Structure 1
Amino acid sequence: GILYFMIMENFRYLEDISGVDILIKRAKSQGLNIKNVKDISDLLQTNDKVACSIVKEIASWIGAAVINVIHIIGPEVVFIGGKMAVLGDSLIQPIREIVSMYLFGDQEVEVRLSEISENAVAIGAAIYATTKWLEKKSTERVTY
């Protein structure tokens, strides 16, 4: 799905403020010599302050999106995946903190890193489309 945020009177896609490209761009603009998310993950392992700060900021946007989704549809578990899953606890922990801070009452929601591939969304969409097509075909009348 696509989520929007209002920032200074402009709507922005979540991906445009917290996606992989933004993470890498922000890291490079702050002087980090990186090429991909794995490089940032390596810097996190050394407790690089700049990398930690950037990931925490990105996680805060993702956390805000997650808590909004929780309040709208009420899942018991939320999975965070894709290319950023390699960031591990450095990404997931700030998201969990935001979620626990803004849950209602005794509501409990588990936030976990996905263990499936980053192609899961595309695979899920293909399965959904195939299922819908088969449902349609199974209800059509056959004339001989």
Structure 2
Amino acid sequence: MAHTPEVLFVCVHNAGRSQMAAALLQHHALGRVAVRSAGSEPAEKVNPAAAEALAEWGLDIAAEIPAKLSTADVEAADVVITMGCGDACPIFPGKRYLDWDLVDPAGKSVGAVRPIRDDIDRRIRGLLAELLDT
């Protein structure tokens, strides 16, 4: 049986960028990739503008609960994608690390979040093609 790649998205609050990335990868991967997201300092709830931007595409993250990043999350992942969390993410040999320089959607309107969503979606499609060798 083939190994299912696992991707971990990490940002500070796990309320915007990492939540959008996780939802988009889950959507596009159709179960072929295990997906998690976490934050070094999780917020109490998902960013409403990020949730609204994804809802425009039929994806619902409004009920997601930001999670605290753990060492176990990183250990389990094949690919760890950071999004502005600095040195908060533990580094383990043999893991693939990517740092996506994305605008933080915190405090922004849905109109300002749409280009961030679109950038994440473009990156997700490229990552998925790499992971699945398509």
Answer yes or no: same fold by TM over 0.5.
no
Which has more radius of gyration?
A: 1
TM-score (norm 1): 0.29
**Higher normalized helix content (fraction of residues):** 1
Larger RCO, structures 1/2 (Cα 8 Å, 6+ apart) = 2
